[in-house]
Structures are given as structure tokens and as C-alpha cells.
Structure 1
Amino acid sequence: MLELLRKIVQEVSSAQNVETALDMIVRSIQRGLHTDVCSVYLFDHPTQRYVLRASQGLNVDAIGRASLSSSEGIVGLVARRAEPINLEDAETHAAYCYLPETGEERYHAFLGVPIIHQRRVLGVLVVQQQATRRYDESEEAFMVTVSAQLAGLISVADATGSADQRERAPTRMADRRFDGVAAGAGVAIGPVVVMASLANLDAVPDKTVTDIDAEIQIFYNALERVRNDIRGVSERLAEKLRHDEKALFDVYLRMLDDSAIAGEVVTVIRLGNWAQGALSQVITTNAAQFAVMEDPYLRERATDVRDLGRRVLTYLQEASNPGDIELPENAILVAEELSPTILGEVSTDKLAGLVSVHGSGNSHAAILARSMGIPTVMGIVDLPFRRLDGRLVIVDGYSGRLYVEPSEELLGIYREIHREQAEVTAELATLRDLPAITKDGHRMPLWVNTGLTADVSRALERGAEGIGLYRTEIPFMVRDFFPSEMEQTQIYRKQLEAFAPHPVTMRTLDIGGDKSLPYFPIKEENPFLGWRGIRVTLDHPEIFLVQIRAMLRASEGLDNLRIMLPMVTSVYEVDESNRLLDRAVRELQEDGHDIKRPPVGVMIEVPAAVYQVRLFAKRVDFISVGSNDLAQYLLAVDRNNPRVAGLYMSYHPAVLKALEYIAREAHKEAIQVSICGEMASEPAGALLLMAMGYDVLSMNATNLPRVKSAIRGVRLEQARTLFYKVRRMDDADKIQSFLTEAIRRMGLGQLSQPDLPA
């Protein structure tokens, strides 16, 4: 049964459309379970009925015609209850409904399993048998497992319209809506540009080409380079390999012949697909065919096929120069996984919106997107992104929705929202040179979080008074090797000069988790609880010292540097970092540099640090809270995982209590406490943090004017009253709703999310 399940999983993943997958699956289950019938009923939105879409055993003519509502038949009961129903004799059940076109009157045993995706019943998977008997527990467990595998495929097909191929040609995806996670507020309308991951066959988009001959030549050029690589390896290893082992290289070369894979790719190109898309299609199909073969040797060839495909794709991508792609006006960049590296390299002149299949609203890529002020949606796990290149879409960064080929009516609604938000932004721009002072005179310094080069000018344009977090890892991530001390010095100097004499807080290299360096890979089972932050740099003092020296040299004559240590969990880490800093200061002074020891602080990001705030405060000059990671660790929610994104709550009572505790404990040692997490970027969150006693709020530059407007629109006492009410509440969703309504009552409704289509 495990072998049958593996085969079905392969069929689901490799099928070109849902109809093909369903036909293969019902045949495999019917044969594998030795049952008489296997059928799939899918929910049809226009008719609100469960329609028979595939069957092995029932009358073929009934497929696409036979249907039941959720209140009809045992199939409807399975869907309504959202749980399996296993019957010895279906005809004796009260819910039995006879469908004469199916011919199912001959079958007695019945097992129906709901196909569920994200709590929504998409259909019902059914097996039937003439004999009167109950399917055993292993058979039922097998069916439940298959339905779970089937759910993702059907969800994508349902969203794209490809599930309706028997009734309607899927030529358009008009007004199709895909739900993800809101990651960057705003609305963007424009054509999609798919950014394919390097050497990732599963991420290559489909694109139409007109010059077929030129595309075929591009493919042949890449193919010849791979052949030369294989021949070269074969020659270098000729003396070390046996005759049969050397013969493998000949096998690989033959697989690339026109009579094999190469010929199939050319055929697909002639149908209009570009070389990369044709290659991806052919390799995926061939690998899937090998993977389901009974013979273990042949099954292993699936790996060889994919490896050859990746090699050819690499050369194709080199030939297309993906980094030089000319974006159209108002481009919507879609990637399988949006990364800080992509954001650091892409030109933002024509970029209107961002969409990522994976990731969540609190990933570092999303945080950087917000700092750029670009409407962003993350975690649309069911998005058929390979089919979207060139299509017109709406990115709703407020609700986390993406609309494909929207109607004129929907376009009109979102264009009006875009216009209204532009007016609010223009009005907020007038606050640039005004301080963030409440109506009763409380002054709240507003700093910014930076990392990208463009962040500096954006922050200054919006009236930032300093940098509360400069992410030094970004310059490391967009390079192919560690930047030298001189390169780092030049990068840091630009940040310090731009904000002098205002303070610039530079966080030491913070890699690990969802931030990796291509030339310094960290492979771990659980990276967020692993080797990251200060743990990495203290294990590599040579990296730490070079970076500290570069920061110190960059600050010479400016003296506005502050250094911050990330992911600190113990006083040992603080003491060791201070020791290394003192060493760097001493060495530079001995070299003749006019260097002063800058203020040093720690980031409170993990629960262990929360309860050591006063111990840390005795050793450093300031405390800064990284509320994004702190919330992640307090709530045990991976903020990059869209499946649990809904559980990540900045206003969770536990998070709010921790934040209040940190501020109170830091002030007992008379030390400055700031916060540089995303909570400070929200008007309501900023008011709560001000009421808790935070001395500085640091945020993305895009949201700074909104936060400033909120602070200037209230009295400190109002903010404290708001916090006291929230502190007594015990549900994060209720807190969020209460804050939204409170902001409106305070006359700050223009700072909240606009009314959006249902």
C-alpha cells in the first residue's frame, strides 16, 4: 500500500491538469485496493453541487453529468460532516440517493472521504464494491491520505479554472482571486513578471515566443555546453572508472539526443513555449514516468533526468541574463520565494507590487518590502505562478489578495482606493519636518529601520530622526563572498554620513534562520533555533572583528555610531562581544585612528533575554526589542510558514505583557529602551508602545508619517487609557478589533485600512 501511495503522489505532482490526475488516481486506487469502483466528486461553484468528475467502474456517460447537493445522498453527507463514512450496504442508509445514470445500484460497500483544503471541502473521494462489507481501517487510512494529497492539486485547479475543463475552456482566469498574507500595505495594478529561481525546474514560468527558430538555437547552444561538460568529466575520470561506470556518461549523452529528451523539448518549443518552459515541461514529465516504474534501477533514473534538466536550465538562464530583464511599467514581480537578495538587486523604478508563493507577512523579505513601500502579498501557496507571466493583476496588500485578469468593475474599485491612499500619503508628507509630539507635549523620537541603499533617501524624505536598526547582513547577502573591511567601511560610512549627527544603530551580522549567505551556507533541521545571530559571529571572531573594525573606522569624525548585538541569550555573549569590541577599539587607536568606543546595546528577541533585561542593562548602554522574533518565539510560530501565519499575532496578550515587562525592567536601570519590530510601524501599536514607556520607536520609513500623525493626534493620557483597556483583554483578535475601532474614534480613521471589496 505504501508503494501505491508513492505512485499516486508522483501522479498528482506530475499531472499537467487536474482531469488527467483524477483519471490516473481513480484507476490506480481501483486496481490497488482491488475494489470495483473509485470515483471523485468535486464541488462546482456555479451550481453549488458535487459533480462526478472521474470514475473507474461507474458509467462513463455519467461523468460530468451526475451531481448531488450537500443535502443529497451519502456523498453529500460526507461533504456536510467533513469526515469519512464507511458503510457495509449503502442502500440501507437513510441518506442513500439513487442516481440512475451512474449504474451504482450494483454496489453495496461504500467508503467516502472528504477532500479538504484549508478547512474547505473541495470534494469527496469514493470507493465502492459489490460485496456487502466494511472497508478495513488500513484502507480507510489510505483513502484519507490520498485525499490529503489530492486536495492541493484540486485547490489550484479550482482557483485557476482548470478544474472545469470538461465544461469550459480555461482560456482566462478572469477575476480569479488568490488569498495569501498581507505583507505590504497598498494597492498595485499591472502586468506580472515571473522571477524564476536559478536552476529550479519547478519554478520556470510558461512564456510565449514568436521567433521559434531562435529559441530552438538557444536551446541547442545550452545542450551542447552540457554535452561538453559531460564529455569533460568522462575524460578526467577515465582512468579511475571501470568500463561499465564510464558507460553511464554515454547513457547521459544519449538521453540528450534529438531522439530522446532534446527532440521532445524542440517539439514543445515549436508549439510556442520558450526554451526554459519547454525544458521544464519535458523533464518533469519524463522524471515522473521514471519515478513510478516498478524496477528500482529505472526508478532511480528520475534523479538523473532532473539533474540533466537542471544543467541545461542553468545555461539557458545564463543566456537569458535574468538580471537584465527590462520591467514594464507598474510591473508586479512574482517569485516562488521572495528573498532579500532579490529585493536588493531588482530596480524599483518600474516595480509596483510584489507577490511570493512562499513566506509570510513577517519574513525578512516582507519586512524589507514594507520598508520599500511596495504593496506585497506573501504565502499564496496555491498560486499557479508559472502561468501568470504577462497577465494583468491587482495586488491588494491590505487584505493579502491577488486578483488575476480583473474585470473593469473591480479595476475601477481598486483604482479609486489607490487614488484615495495617494491623497492621504500626500497629506502626511506635510508632517516631514514636524516632531512627533502628543497634544499634551510628550515627545516621541521616531527612527527608521534600514538595510537597502534606497532606504536612506526614503527615510530622510519622511523626516526620520535616526536609524534604530541598520541590517548589516543585506550588503553581505547581495555579494558572492564576504565584503572586505574596506568595502564594509565605505558602506557604513554612507549610512553614518547621511544621518549625522543623528544616531545610527548598526546591528552586527545577523544570519541564520531565513537569512542565508550563498557563500556561507548554514544547513540545519531547525534554523530558527539553531546557529544564528551572535552565535555565528562569536564562533567566527575573525568575521566579527572585521565588521566591528569597519564600523569603527566608518564612524571616525562623526561619532554617531551605535552597535547592537542580535539574538543574545546570555550575559557571556554580551561580555565576549564587549571584550572583542574593546580589542578592536584599542587596535585602531594604536594604528593612529581617532576612534571612540560607541554605545553598545542588545536586542531582546528570545524569551530567555526577556528575563535577563536588568542583567544586560548593567553591561550595555541601551536595550532594543526585536518584536518580530520575540513574538515568533513566545508564540512558537514560524513567521515564514504561511500555514500558521494566522497564529502570529503582534497583539497577543503574552506578547504585550512581555513588551511592558521589558520597558519597565530596563527603566529600573535608567537605560534607554527602544523597539525596532514591525509593531512600531502601526499607528495603534505605536500608541500602545508609547504608553508602555518606550523611549524610541524605530520602523520602516514608509509607515513613519502615519505613526507620526497618530502620535500628534492624541494625548499621552489617551494612549495610556487605551493601553490599560487592552491590558485587561485576553484575546488577540478582540484586541485587534478594539484597536481598529479606537483609532477611528480618536479621529485617526484615515490612517487605518480602507474599505475593501468583500
Structure 2
Amino acid sequence: MAPQDRLDRIVGQIARSMVAEVCSVYALRADGVLELYATVGLNPKAVHQSQLRLGQGLVGTIAAGSRPLNLSEAQKHPAFEYLPETGEELYNSFLGVPILRAGRTLGVLVVQNEAHRVYGEDEAEALETVAMVIGEMIATGDLTGLSSTGIELDLAKPVSHHGKPLSDGIGLGHVVLHEPRVVVTELFNEDTDAELARLGKALSSLRLTIDDMLARGDMALEGEHRDVLETYRMFAHDKGWVQRMEEAIRNGLTAEAGVEKVQSDMRARLASVTDPYLRERMNDFDDLANRLMRQLVSGDAAQRGKTLPDDAIIVARNMGAAELLDYPRDQLRGIVLEEGAPTSHVVIVARAMGIPVAGGAKGMVAMSDSGDAIIVDGLDGHVHLRPQPDVEAAYAEKVRFRARRQAEYRELRDRVAVSADGQRVTLLMNAGLLVDLPQLDQSGAEGIGLFRTELQFMIAATFPRAEAQERLYRSVLEAAGDRPVTFRTLDIGGDKVLPYFRNAPDEENPALGWRAVRLALDRPGLLRTQVRALLKAASGRQLRLMLPMITELAEIDQARRIIMREVKHLSRFGHGLPLALRLGAMLEVPSLLFDLDRLMASVDFVSIGSNDLFQFMHAADRGNALIGGRFDTLSPPFLRALRATAQAAERHGTPLTLCGEMAGRPIEALALVALGITSLSMSPAAIGPVKAAILKADIGALRSLITARLETGATDHDIHAAIREFVDTNAIPV
């Protein structure tokens, strides 16, 4: 039977079984248009002619939100849009459901009646089940060629996408589409008890495979990737998830179809959620559902790797961390994600395995085909699909050049960073996860200038217990040996919201709101627990504590009282204490620029948080793409603020470090050293390039150049251009 005939027969059967006067199927085309593919009750001439955009009309609203609509008076709904060619003005009641496949909306299925009525829950459930069948037809290509428009997705032309760099490195290889989902061919069960038993057996096997994964010998025994995998064990025992699947089976679906229905429902409901924690939880559940379906179909949760190319680059909307471990590491060259964030579980595990990752590559799954040539640049987030020969050749050379440069940087690893004219510079690294620590030795960093303690909280399902915090901090100190480590106290709030933290306010300007030290002082129990864990972990060593987002000196005094209370508590009960406790503050709020002398006198050290300080000084959200490149970090106002800070630190003998993105960019790092900031903390990968530039530079000459420009009223971009010319003239590698 031809696809069109099959679809026409399906809508006719639905209309008869639901006593509906209209039944219609709209398919979502590659260009984002919903096209009427089949109908009973509407004007048949409208098929393949009637079209709606995503979000347009009731059908477009359903597709955009992936949520059903059940209306007794459809024409009174604010989203209703009349299409004269369809003749649907006669019909009042309306039930529409999204056609979903693995959580992705492929179209909309609609029934309508002239009478005013609200369709029952059983009818809505039945329509959703039928929509699953139609979703399979669309996804497997059964409807290909029905559209009179002839619009198809072009899978041959080169595509370049600028995403987000998530894990360092460059990978050249061929696409492996991450399609863990099993195609469900049997939707309706004949024996409910037997299907429930199959589900129970598959769940037991799934839990065993997760236990085996945790016991693998090729992953480090400690680290955040272990915590990530532990969450899978917890989710696999989630009673709510299991109950929803069992309910779907009792409603007549097979075990596989029940798993898929619950999975699609959850993904559709969370499709519009922007909270990164909740989206990460959805990815975890997606992973488990996919693994569970493979258990049901084949009894094996890990079927990958048998036909994997030797240069595989995984392309996925998103994926669970455990799914990544199903692929053989020696064949992976990179990962491309349509979603993903630096704290995504899969990214954390990828970094632990040394795999380049680029995220934010929207639409890449739809545009890719297995076996396509692809390049993933984890350094700047670029993804090149089916690249032109010249692009491929350029990246191959880039990989070779990177290998040569990395070899040069490795040779510099043990050299002290001293400029050509004798200026000593301390190069430290930023960290926040245990997987970062091996790079202390690899990069040649002289210590950790910023350890972001909040990352442990962001990847956890609940507040990390004091014992877990203490273990992490002790591991960091042991890895550092005799090198200094500066721990920043918990910096949550703003864009780092913990969903399990109750009573977090909904703020219009979270970056300027209840965050960092402000939150810690208002919830001293959090700070006390963390400080106690840090003090115990640093027993017999020096402990450097840094307070973030300080706005006024009273906040330092208040935090110091809390810290000293914990020191006394541990001393009273005989616990070991640090040999020395150094308390510092981050300078990232401009108000402190007008109180620099008192600031330098009140703390043991100061760190400039250049990212926040710059955005607050320029009133420019650094995450806003519209203004991200509008202001120059080497502008005269910002450089004068940095110079004044360095001069104040020198007057008081207070150690000063800058930790922020500009420290890791060679040109800006040279400018910072010339201003008198001779301790820089950056990403580990940036240490080699920055050190190479410093070794070749005459800092005194550069200082004279910058000072002259600042004192003669240079325009905003003059200084940057002058430093670039200085670098080029003196053949300084940047």
C-alpha cells in the first residue's frame, strides 16, 4: 500500500473509533513548516497545501510546546487561526496531540467535532498512542515524497557551526550518530502480566550493568565522573519512574512502548526548561530509558562499537555520561552535542577521558548522516560537517602545528616564567574538579590560583555532605603537594543556581543579586560546613581561603568571625588544624576600587576576578552575544583600574593575583604583567602559550608603551593595537 493511502486509512480509522467528524495529520518539515499530510472531514484539496509555522495556530502551538490541547470551543482560544482552504470553521471541539519520537516533535495529530465537548482522558491517551505509530512512519521515511513542495533536508553540502568549546582538543573523523533508541515495532500487549515481568527483569539487568560500569578498571577510582555514575544507580531505582512505566503497560502497551511513552512524555514536558540542572536530570533519565529498551529488545545494554570507525566522532542532541562509556575509547576522536554545558555529566566524563567536545551545535543531528566527514574543534567550539578539502587540510595542519607547539610547551614546562628583561611571573591554574588535577604537572603550573568549590555542588543531586567535601579538598591538596592552592568559598547564585537549594529567589538580575558571599553570610550554616571541611582537610598544611563577590569590608569581617568560630570548635575537640590560615578576597565589584588601601590592609591576599569586574564596570553582560565583543578588556578605563589595584597591593605588600579569561590570553597577559600584576591564574591549556610569550618579552619596554598611552588619553582600541604591534615587531609568539 502506498504511504499516502496508508495514512489516509489511518486517519479514517481514528475518526471512526473516536466518533470524530475530523481527523488530520500535520507533519513537521525540515524547514520548520507544519504541512497537512492527510485528513478526514476537512477539504481534501487542502492536503499538502495547508501549512502553518511553528507556534502559529493551535497546531503550531502544540508542535512548538510539545503539549496536547483539549478544547470545547477551539475558535475562542487565543492561538486559533482560521485557514479558509480547510473548511474547519464548522467544528468547535478540538483535541490535538504532538507526534513524538524519542522526545522530538515530528508533527501533530488532531480530531475535531462540531458539537461542544471535552474529550476524555482515555480518548487523549488513545490518541497519543496512535501518534506514536504515526511518528514511526514519519521517522522511518514512509511519508517521504508525499509533499508537493519537494523540500527535503540537504545532506550533501558543507555545514559549519560555531558552538561552545567544552573539552579541549581537535578531532578529525567521521560521524557516528548517537542513536541509542530502539525502534519499537510491537506497541500493544496481549499479556499485561508477562510484559510487567519483562520490565522487572530488564530493570534488574539494567541495575547490574550500572554496578559493572562503576567497577570498571579503566576509569579513575576517584573524581566527579564517579559521582556522576553513582547518580545513575540512584535513578535506576526511582520508584516514580518505574510506576509510570508499569501504568503504561497496564493501559495496554508493551514494555518497550511503555518505556518509550514515559520517556517521550518527560522529554516533551521538559523541552522548554532552561534550568541546566533539570535538563541534566532529563538526560540521565533519557540514558536510562534507552539502555532499558535495549535490555528489553536484545538483553544487552551496550551494543555499540562493533562497527565503529577508527576515527569516530559522536554527534548527539545530548547523551548520558554512562552512554559515553559504552563506546571504545581508542576509536573516539571527539563529541558534538546540540546541547551540553561545561558541567554536563557527559562533558565531565569526556574531559576525564581526554576527548574534545563542542556543544551548542543546534540542528547538527538532523544535518548529519553516519559516515560524513566532520571536524570538532574543542578549542573554540567550531564544528565543520562535510568540510571542504581546504578546510580539512587547514585543520590537519592545525593539528600538526598544535602537536609541535604542545611539544614546545612541554619543553618549557619546568622553566620558570622570567621575561627577557628579568621580570619573574607566577603562572597558576584554575580548577574545580578532580579531573583537572593531573594537569598541574602536565601544564607546569606553580599551583592552583583558583579552585572553584561550587562545581562539586553543581554536579551533585543533593548538598554534598561534609565528609564528601573534606575528601575532595584533601585530594586536591595531596595532588598539589607543596604547591599553593587557593580555595574560593562557595560561589552559588546568579547563573549557578542549585535546584535542591530551597527558597532560592527568582531574581530579575541574578548576577547582581543574592549570590556568593552574600548568600553564604545569610545562610551561615552552608559556610560553616564548608569551612570546617576545608580546615580538617588542610590539617598540617597551609590553607588559603578566598571570599567571592566582596562589596564592602564589613563582609570580610563577618566571614572572618564565622571562620574563626570553626577554628575554635575544631581545636576544642582535638582536630588537626592548618599550619597557617590565609584569608583573601576577590576584587570583582567596582565599589572596592574606591577602598583599595583598606582592602589591602584587611586581608592576606587579593585576587582580581577580571570576568565579573569587567562586566560590572562596563554594565555589559558577558553572556550576551549582542554585546560580548563590544568592549575591549584592554580599554584605558579598565587598565587604569587594574594599575591602581597593583599599586595599592605593592604599597601594602599584599600578594595580588588575577584569575580570569584575560590571564590566559597571551597579549592581555603581557599587558597585565606590564601593569604590575605578576601572578596570573588561568586554564591549564593557556599556561604554555602565556609562558612562551613572557619568556620572549621585554616587560619594561611594554610598560613604558602602555604608560605613555594611558597618560596621553589613548582611545579605547589604541592600546590593544599598540601591544599587537609591539608583539609582532619583537617576534613574540602569541
TM interval, short-chain normalised: 0.5 to 0.7
Verify the 8 A CA contact 1:681 1:703 in the aligned structure 2: yes
Verify the 8 A CA contact 1:438 1:713 in the aligned structure 2: yes
Amino acid at match of 2:443: R
- Identify which of 475, 481, 488 aligns with 2:456: 475
In the alignment, what sits opposite 1:78?
none
Structure-to-structure mapping, 1:530-569, within 5 angstroms: 530-559=513-542, 561-569=543-551
- SS of alignment partner, residue 744 of structure 1: helix
- Identify which of 570, 591, 594 aligns with 1:608: 591
> Quick one: structure 1 residues 343 and 721, their matched pair in 2 at CA, closer, same or farther if it must change by over 3 Å?
farther
TM-aligned CA deviation for residue 531 of structure 1 = 2.0
TM-aligned CA deviation for residue 420 of structure 1 = 1.2
**Structure 1 residue 439 and structure 2 residue 420: aligned?**
yes
Verify the 8 A CA contact 1:603 1:626 in the aligned structure 2: yes
Amino acid at match of 1:421: R
| Aligned residue-pair number | 544
In the alignment, what sits opposite 2:732?
748
Amino acid at match of 1:573: E
- SS of alignment partner, residue 461 of structure 1: helix
**Structure 1 residue 730 and structure 2 residue 715: aligned?**
yes
**Structure 1 residue 695 and structure 2 residue 678: aligned?**
yes
- Identify which of 556, 566, 581 aligns with 1:584: 566
Verify the 8 A CA contact 1:366 1:378 in the aligned structure 2: no
In the alignment, what sits opposite 2:405?
424
> Quick one: structure 1 residues 365 and 709, their matched pair in 2 at CA, closer, same or farther if it must change by over 3 Å?
farther
In 1, the alpha carbon distance for the partners of 2:514 and 2:323 equals: 24
In 2, the alpha carbon distance for the partners of 1:689 and 1:169 equals: 53
In the alignment, what sits opposite 1:491?
472
**Structure 1 residue 511 and structure 2 residue 492: aligned?**
yes
C-alpha distance after superposition, 1:367-422 (max 9, x if no partner)? 99999987565555x43446658554212356643211334553233112111111
In 1, the alpha carbon distance for the partners of 2:347 and 2:641 equals: 24
Amino acid at match of 2:551: T
C-alpha distance after superposition, 1:532-567 (max 9, x if no partner)? 1112221221221121122112222222x2100011
In the alignment, what sits opposite 1:20?
33
Verify the 8 A CA contact 2:343 2:458 in the aligned structure 1: no
> Quick one: structure 1 residues 438 and 707, their matched pair in 2 at CA, closer, same or farther if it must change by over 3 Å?
same
> Quick one: structure 1 residues 484 and 442, their matched pair in 2 at CA, closer, same or farther if it must change by over 3 Å?
same
In the alignment, what sits opposite 1:319?
292
Verify the 8 A CA contact 2:155 2:369 in the aligned structure 1: no
Verify the 8 A CA contact 1:222 1:316 in the aligned structure 2: no
**TM-score if structure 1 supplies the norm length?**
0.59
> Quick one: structure 1 residues 501 and 485, their matched pair in 2 at CA, closer, same or farther if it must change by over 3 Å?
same
Verify the 8 A CA contact 1:447 1:464 in the aligned structure 2: yes
C-alpha distance after superposition, 1:179-233 (max 9, x if no partner)? 3466777532245678xxxxxxxxxx7667579679999xx879989xxxxxxxx
In 2, the alpha carbon distance for the partners of 1:527 and 1:643 equals: 19
Amino acid at match of 1:696: S
Structure-to-structure mapping, 1:80-91, within 5 angstroms: none
> Quick one: structure 1 residues 318 and 326, their matched pair in 2 at CA, closer, same or farther if it must change by over 3 Å?
closer
Verify the 8 A CA contact 1:436 1:712 in the aligned structure 2: yes
C-alpha distance after superposition, 1:488-511 (max 9, x if no partner)? 222212222222322110111111
In 1, the alpha carbon distance for the partners of 2:657 and 2:32 equals: 56
TM-aligned CA deviation for residue 639 of structure 1 = 3.1
> Quick one: structure 1 residues 363 and 567, their matched pair in 2 at CA, closer, same or farther if it must change by over 3 Å?
farther
In 2, the alpha carbon distance for the partners of 1:28 and 1:625 equals: 52
Larger deviation: 319-328 or 457-466? Answer: 319-328
> Quick one: structure 1 residues 687 and 331, their matched pair in 2 at CA, closer, same or farther if it must change by over 3 Å?
farther
> Quick one: structure 1 residues 613 and 585, their matched pair in 2 at CA, closer, same or farther if it must change by over 3 Å?
same
- Identify which of 144, 153, 156 aligns with 1:170: 153
Structure-to-structure mapping, 1:177-188, within 5 angstroms: 177-180=160-163, 187-188=170-171
TM-aligned CA deviation for residue 568 of structure 1 = 1.2
Verify the 8 A CA contact 1:565 1:602 in the aligned structure 2: yes
Verify the 8 A CA contact 2:429 2:449 in the aligned structure 1: yes
State the identity %: 31
In 1, the alpha carbon distance for the partners of 2:323 and 2:534 equals: 25
C-alpha distance after superposition, 1:242-285 (max 9, x if no partner)? xxxxxxx99x9799966xxx69x96xx9xxxxx8699759996x
Amino acid at match of 2:465: S
In the alignment, what sits opposite 1:90?
none
RMSD: 5.3
In 1, the alpha carbon distance for the partners of 2:483 and 2:270 equals: 58
In 2, the alpha carbon distance for the partners of 1:742 and 1:588 equals: 54
**Structure 1 residue 455 and structure 2 residue 440: aligned?**
no
> Quick one: structure 1 residues 639 and 22, their matched pair in 2 at CA, closer, same or farther if it must change by over 3 Å?
farther
C-alpha distance after superposition, 1:593-639 (max 9, x if no partner)? 24445111011122223333333222211110111122222233333
In 1, the alpha carbon distance for the partners of 2:568 and 2:519 equals: 23
TM-aligned CA deviation for residue 335 of structure 1 = 7.0
Larger deviation: 174-183 or 415-424? Answer: 174-183
> Quick one: structure 1 residues 738 and 177, their matched pair in 2 at CA, closer, same or farther if it must change by over 3 Å?
farther
C-alpha distance after superposition, 1:13-71 (max 9, x if no partner)? 99343273488998669xx99xxxxxxxxxxxxxxxxxxxxxx999xxxxxxxxxxxxx
TM-aligned CA deviation for residue 353 of structure 1 = 4.5
Structure-to-structure mapping, 1:269-418, within 5 angstroms: 280=264, 316-317=289-290, 319=292, 332=313, 352-353=333-334, 355=336, 357=338, 377=358, 379-380=360-361, 382-385=362-365, 388=368, 392-397=373-378, 400-418=381-399
> Quick one: structure 1 residues 395 and 505, their matched pair in 2 at CA, closer, same or farther if it must change by over 3 Å?
same
In 1, the alpha carbon distance for the partners of 2:582 and 2:607 equals: 12
In 1, the alpha carbon distance for the partners of 2:439 and 2:567 equals: 32
In 2, the alpha carbon distance for the partners of 1:633 and 1:620 equals: 23
TM-aligned CA deviation for residue 574 of structure 1 = 0.6
Structure-to-structure mapping, 1:219-234, within 5 angstroms: none
TM-aligned CA deviation for residue 326 of structure 1 = 7.0
C-alpha distance after superposition, 1:448-483 (max 9, x if no partner)? 111121222112222111111111112222322223
Structure 1: segments with no counterpart, 5+ residues: 1-10, 34-55, 59-161, 195-204, 226-248, 270-274, 289-308, 752-758
In 2, the alpha carbon distance for the partners of 1:723 and 1:369 equals: 41
- SS of alignment partner, residue 568 of structure 1: coil
In the alignment, what sits opposite 2:13?
none
In 2, the alpha carbon distance for the partners of 1:567 and 1:345 equals: 41
Verify the 8 A CA contact 1:477 1:518 in the aligned structure 2: no
**TM-score if structure 2 supplies the norm length?**
0.61
Amino acid at match of 2:430: N
In 2, the alpha carbon distance for the partners of 1:649 and 1:331 equals: 39
Verify the 8 A CA contact 1:585 1:595 in the aligned structure 2: no
In 2, the alpha carbon distance for the partners of 1:439 and 1:310 equals: 51
- SS of alignment partner, residue 18 of structure 1: coil
Verify the 8 A CA contact 2:567 2:577 in the aligned structure 1: no
In 2, the alpha carbon distance for the partners of 1:341 and 1:628 equals: 33
In 1, the alpha carbon distance for the partners of 2:288 and 2:657 equals: 49
Verify the 8 A CA contact 1:589 1:595 in the aligned structure 2: no
In 2, the alpha carbon distance for the partners of 1:345 and 1:606 equals: 45
In 1, the alpha carbon distance for the partners of 2:325 and 2:612 equals: 22
